[in-house]
Amino acid sequence: MTARFTENVVGDRSMKVARDAYYRRFARSVVTRHVTLARPTYNDRNVLEQIIIPFVLSRFEPETVLDIGREPYEAFYNEFFEGRELWTVDCDPERTRFGARNHLVDDAAHVHRHFPADYFDFVLMNGVFGWGLNERDAIEAAFTAVHVVLHPRGIFVLGWNDTPDLVPVPLDEVQSLKQFTPYYFEPLNGVSFLCDTFRHTFSFYVK
């Protein structure tokens, strides 16, 4: 088995730089095939597709990936993870056609029922918190489930809109998130990043 977390096992800076550049090019080629309109650097989708995902691929080298919540525009996201074990989850059966080959119709709070503990190297939950995941108990259960299935030192990326109508519970009041450690995401210079669009924010955690 290859090393699970490149960031932690590769000390050669030149190798890291080369890998980062390779995955940025790879992500750009995926996006170019599917997105025709130019987007500003810090547009929320651009941040996810061309900054966050390539960095995770380069530095963490995830073998197992869980993507919670799928929209039509995300159908091509499967290509980012070709050659890796990708699972998608959405509670709406109509979204199945936008998911990966391995897709589950279920709530985020139930993912631990489908996988062993410590199974995933990378979990992405974008546009779910505040967009259907709105009740305090369900929120607590969902983040607890993510923590259960995330591998130790695995990375969890949470995308959410920092607006009063879309923050059902302030994140600093969510007890289950305190099981994670905030992760300093080097390309975006912080443990969270506010995009230029819709106050969309990405928060970064490790287990």
Q: Which residue ranges form the domains of the chain, and what is each CATH number?
A: 62-206 (3.40.50.150)
| Closest among 155, 146, 201 to 177, alpha carbons compared | 146
pTM over 0.75: yes
pLDDT score recorded for residue 121: 98
pLDDT score recorded for residue 13: 84
- pLDDT < 70: residue spans in the chain: 1-11
Asked if 6 contacts 20 with a C-beta cutoff of 8 angstroms, the reply is no
Tokens of 6: 């490149």
